[in-house]
Structure 1
Amino acid sequence: MGRKILIMLLGLLVFAPSIGAFASTGDVLLGKQMIRKDTGTFISAFTDGSDDTYGLLNKKGYGSDIYYYDFPKPTTVNKLRIYGTGYGSISVKLFYLNNTSEIVYQRTNIQSGGEYIQTFPTKTDVVKVEIANPSGDSALNLATFSLYGEILDEIPPGDVTDIKVTPGEEDITFTFTLPKDSDFSHVLIYRDSKLLNGKHTKGSFKDVGLEPNATYEYKFVSVDETGNKSKGVIKTVSTFVPLKDISSLKANPDYNRVDLSWTLPKSTELKHVSIYRDTIPEEKGFLRKMFSAVSVSAADGPTKIFETNGTYFNDLTVKPETTYEYKLTSVGTDGEETDGVTVQATTLEEPTPVIKDPGYEITPEGDYLYTWTSPDKGKVKVLISGNEYQTVDAADKKILIPKDKMKYKMMGEPDISLQPISEYGKEGEIHEESPFEEGMLPFEGGDLLKTSMSLLVVLGPFILLALAFLIYPKLKQVISKALEARKGRGVKK
C-alpha cells in the first residue's frame, strides 16, 4: 500500500510541469476560421470539430495548398490531430513571437479515414500556425485539423458605462462606471486617436490644457488581464468660453438718437445681449460734461429697452440735451446674466426748425390755403396779425384759413406768419408770409399810373394851395422890385 502511494506521488511530480503549464487546455483552433493564403478567403471545415465535413488542401503549386491562422496573442501548444477523408500529404508549421518558425509535423501518406495524433514538446509564444500540402502529386481532403494547448481567453471585457461629461474652458472632466468583469484590468483613454492614459483604473478622468471653444473626440477602451479589449465608447465633447461681458462699448449721440456699438464675447454660452437705459439727472450730467461727452462706468437700476444678439443698437427714443446711461449685459443660454458694462452719453442740442418753401393760393371759395415743404415733424404755429390763430401738425404741410378770418396789411396782402416748433418743443423764427417774390411789386405799371392819376385829382387842389403859400412871398418880392425899378427910370427923364 505504501509502495502504491509512493508511485502516485512520483507520478504527480513527473507530470506536474505539464499539467501546470496550461490553466485550461483544449483545441485552440476549434470554431476558428483558417485563411487561404493566396486569396484571403476563409474556411471553417478544417476546424469545426466535425470529421464529417472537409475541405480541399490542393497539390503544391495550385494556389489552395496553404492555409493559416493568426492567434490574437501568443499561445502555447503541444499536440495536434489530423483526420483525412482522402489520400494525400500535409505539413504543419508554427510561427513564434521572435519571428522564427519551424515545421512540427509532416506526413506524406495520409489515408482516407485515417486519424493521426502527434504530441510534441511544448511550444510557447506561438503567434501563427500554417498547414500546407507539400506534395505535387495529389490533393488532400482534410476533414479535421486540431491543435491542442492553452485555451486563450478571447472574451473582451465590458465597456465603461454611465459616462458623464463636464466641459470647461480649457479642460474636460469625465466620470464613468468601470466594467464589473472579474478579469478587468484597466482603461485605455484616447483623444483624437492619441493615447492619453494606458493604465487608467479609476472611475473619473480629467483632461487639461485644452483649447477654448474646441471640439475633441474621446474613446474609452476596457482591457482585461489577458489583453482582450472592448470595442470602446466614443464621446465627442467641446470646450466652451464662459459667459463674459461685451467689450469695446461705444456711444455716438445726436440730438434725436444715440447709436451704440460693441464687440460680442467669444462665448459659446451667450444667448443675447440685454440693453438697459437710465436718464441721468441734469446736475449729474453737468458734472459729467466737464470731463467728457461720453464716459464708461458701472451703474445699477436702469430700465430694459431691448434684446439683441447683434453688435449695434440705435436708440431713437431720446430727447435733446439729455444725459443717458446705458448698461449692456450678456445673458447665457441658462439664463445667467453678467454684471454688464455701461456707457453715458449726452444728446446734442436740437437744430432750430425752419419753415421752407412757404406759399399760399386762394381757393374758388376765396379762402386761403397755406402750404410748406418742411418741417414734416413737430408743429407749425399760424399767426394772423401777430396773434396765434391755430397750431397744426407739421406733417400736414398745409392749413386752410377762411376768408372771413383773414386780415390784411396796408398793401392788401394777407397779414399771416408761420412759426415752426420741433417735436421736442423748440421754436423756430417766425416767417412772415408775402404774396410776392422779393424785389417784385404786387401790381403792374398800368395799375400804378391809374392809381396815381386818381390820387392827383383828389389831392391836386391841396397841392396847388400849398404851393401858393410857398411861392407867393417870393413872387410878391419880385413884383415889388420890378415896379420900383420902373419908377426910378421915369424920374430921370
Structure 2
Amino acid sequence: MKKLIVFLTVLVFFFVPFSFGFAYSGGLLQGKIPNSYSGFTDTNHVTDGDQLTKATLRSLDYGSIEYILSTDSTIDKIYSIFSGEGGLYVEFFNSSNVKIFNMTHYGGLINISDVENVKRIKISNGYGTGFSLNEFDVIPLDSNPIIHDEISNLVLIPSHNEVFMSWSIPSGNSNFTGAKIYKGGQLLTTVDKNTSSFIDKDVLGNTSYTYKVTALYDDGYETAGVSKELTTSAPPPDRDGDGIPDSEDAYPDDPTNTPPPVEAGEVENLEITTTYKSANLSWVLPKTENLQHVNIYRETLTQETSFMDNLINGKRAYAASEKIFETNGTYFNDYTVKPETEYKYTITTTSVDGVESEGVTATTTTPVKPAITFEELSLPFSVKDLISSGNGLLWIVGPFILLALAFMLIPKLRNLIFGAFRKYSKGTSEASERRTKVETIQKMESQDTKEFRTDREPKSERVEVAPKPIREPKELKQPRIRETKERKRIPKLSRERIREPRATRASREPRERTRKPRDRREWS
C-alpha cells in the first residue's frame, strides 16, 4: 500500500504543471506584503512580479498566506504560478470575516464569477506537502490586466562564424512591443514586435555562448526571458587567411582575392591579299572590352641564301619572326615585302591586363614583279617645274607677241575710227540739205495758197490760215533712182510727203527730183 501511495505521489508530481510561461500586471496584490503567513518563507516574492522568485513551503508542512484589501472589492480573475502537488486552495472573506468564496486553483489565469465585497484573501497548499509559490494575484472587475507572456520556441543554429536565432512572439497579446537579446549577460540588441529572428555575426569558431531573449510590454515590463547555451563549430580551412573559407573562396591562395589576368580573345576572319610590292591584311576584332591592341608579326618563309654561307658551308638562313606593327584597327598594309617571297603573318591580341594571346596565323606568297610597270613610269619634270618653265617662257615671248598684235590691229582700229567720223559728217550734211529743200517747197506752197485766196475771195471775207508747224523731217535713206513719168497733180493744202530718188552705188550724190506744183485754181 505504501508503495502504491509513493508511486501515485511521483506520478502526480510529474504530471502537474510546474510553471507557466507568463506573468501579469494590474492585480490588487501586486507588490503587496502579506498581512500574515505561516509555513512559508520569502513570502514577499509571491507578489513581486518576477516569476523566477518564489516563496517556499517546508516539506510536509501546511502553510498559508493572508492579504487584507484596503476596500471591499469585486474579484473577477485569479492568477497564480506554483509548483507542487494538489493545487492552490483559495478563500475569500468579507469585512465580517464570513467566507464568501473558495476554490482549488491549478495555476494560470482563470475567470471566476464576480465575487463581491471581498475584504480578506487566504491561500494555502492543498495537500500539505513540499510546495513553492512563484506568483499570485487577483484581478478586480472591469480591470484589463496586462499579461506578460514570454517568447517561445527559441531556436539557435550555430556555425563557425555566426549564430542564427529565431523565436515565436506571444500570440494575441496586443501589449507586446518587442524583445531584447542578451549575449553572455550583455545586451546585444533590441528588436520590434514584428521581428522574430536575428543573426549574430560577431562570434568565433569552437566557442561557447549563452543567449537570452526577453519580452517587452507597453507598461515597461520586461520578462525574465528564455535562455539557451551553445557552442559554435570549428572554422573551416582557410589557407590564405583572408577570413573566407577555402570552400567559398574564389582565390583560396590569394589573400587579396585579386582576379588573375584575362586574355582578350583572338581575332577572327584573317584574310591576306597580295601584290608584288604589298601584303594587305584584314581581320575582325574580338567582341570584348578587355582588348588593348593587336600585334602583327611577320616571318619570311622563303629561303634566303647568303653568298658566304654558300661559299663556306652551304647553309641557308631564314628570316626570324619579328613584330612589325601594333594597332587598334582591323587592317594593315605591309609595303616592305619583296616579290616572289612567302611570308607568315601572326596576329595576336593584348588585353588591358597585359596578357598576349597565342595568335592567329596565315601564310601568303607575293607574285612576280611584271616586266613593265606603269606605276613606276614618271615624267622628267614635275608639275611645278612645268609651271615655272611656262611662266619664264611667257615673260620672254610675251612682248614679241604683243608687238605683232599691235602691228596687225592698229591699222584696222584706225580705219574703224576714221570711218565712224566720216559717216557721221556725211549724215549731218545730207540731213541739212534735205531740210533746206523741205523749207523751200513749203514756202512755194504757202505763196500759191495766198495767191489763190486773193483772186477768189474779197478782202473782207478772207480767212487767214495759219501755216502748220514745220516738223523736222526724219533722216531719209538715200533713194534709188527711178524713171518717173510726169503726171500733173493738184497740190493739197496738207503737207506733201517728199520723196527723193535713191542714188546708185556708183554715185554718191543723189539726183534731185522736183515736182511742179499744181495750180489749185484748175480744180475749179
Q: Same fold (TM over 0.5)?
A: no
Q: Greater share of strand residues, 1 or 2?
A: 1
Higher Rg of the two aligned structures: 2
Q: TM-score, length-normalised on structure 1?
A: 0.29
Q: TM-score, length-normalised on structure 2?
A: 0.27
